[in-house]
Amino acid sequence: MQNLKVDEGWGNACRQIVQAGQRMDQRGWVPATAGNLSCRLPDGRIAITRSGGHKGFLTDSDVIEITPDGLPVDPANRASAETLLHTQLYAHDPAIGAVLHGHSVAATILSMDEPSDAITLAGYEVLKVFEGQTTHDTSLELPLFHNDQDIALLATVVAPKLADMRLGYLIRGHGVYVWGKDMFTALARLEGLEFLLACELARLQKKA
């Protein structure tokens, strides 16, 4: 009976990741093999997309288990180079159950053009999708970090600001990281953030 429960939990995690990958692909947020998705099971195990897989065509076999340190449980598997950014979030907050990373056009362009260290989003009704927001009459900041191929070093730069992040964060020229208590919440927040960034990009283009 115990093995059945374990298998059922892993299968559910795989389905959530596969379905989220398909949804992100449909919206153009994970081109080619970009992006990565993960979730934490109730028993503490972490499931994440393996490196190099197209998120629109994921199967259960494209989801692997990693340790809290970001290492594949099966050495034959290869995790994404950005796995440490997922495990950093899980270690930061035990309530986090899913992490999503995408590469949309809006996020990429805005992150490269914004001179400050954050994008301010204000006055949008959709801001209420984020935890603690009850009105459109507010503003939230999306922190920006410079891209770095040294993910361990990038994680140390991100760490000091994690406690104050409400929207997630954005890596310049790269993409967003969003999380939630479960996959549904994380995906809703990602969709909300991508909508807001698309609005900001459209407004800038209209002014040009």
Binding residues: 101, 103
Q: Residues within the annotated binding site for Zn(2+)?
A: 101, 103
- Is the separation of the CB atoms in 105 and 30 below 8 Å? no
The residue ranges of DSSP E strands in the chain, in sequence order, are 36-40, 46-49, 63-66, 98-102, 118-122, 139-145, 169-171, 175-180
Residue 115 backbone dihedrals phi, psi, to 5 degrees: -75, -25
Measured over the CA atoms of residue 202, residue 144, residue 84 and residue 153, the dihedral's sign is positive
Q: Which residue has the tokens 């208590």?
A: 181
Other CB atoms within 10 Å distance of the CB of residue 25: 19
Q: Is residue 48 classed as helix, strand or coil in its secondary structure?
A: strand
Please choose, from the candidates 53, 55, 51, 48, the residue with its C-alpha nearest in 3D space to the C-alpha of residue 28: 55
- Is the separation of the CB atoms in 177 and 85 below 8 Å? yes
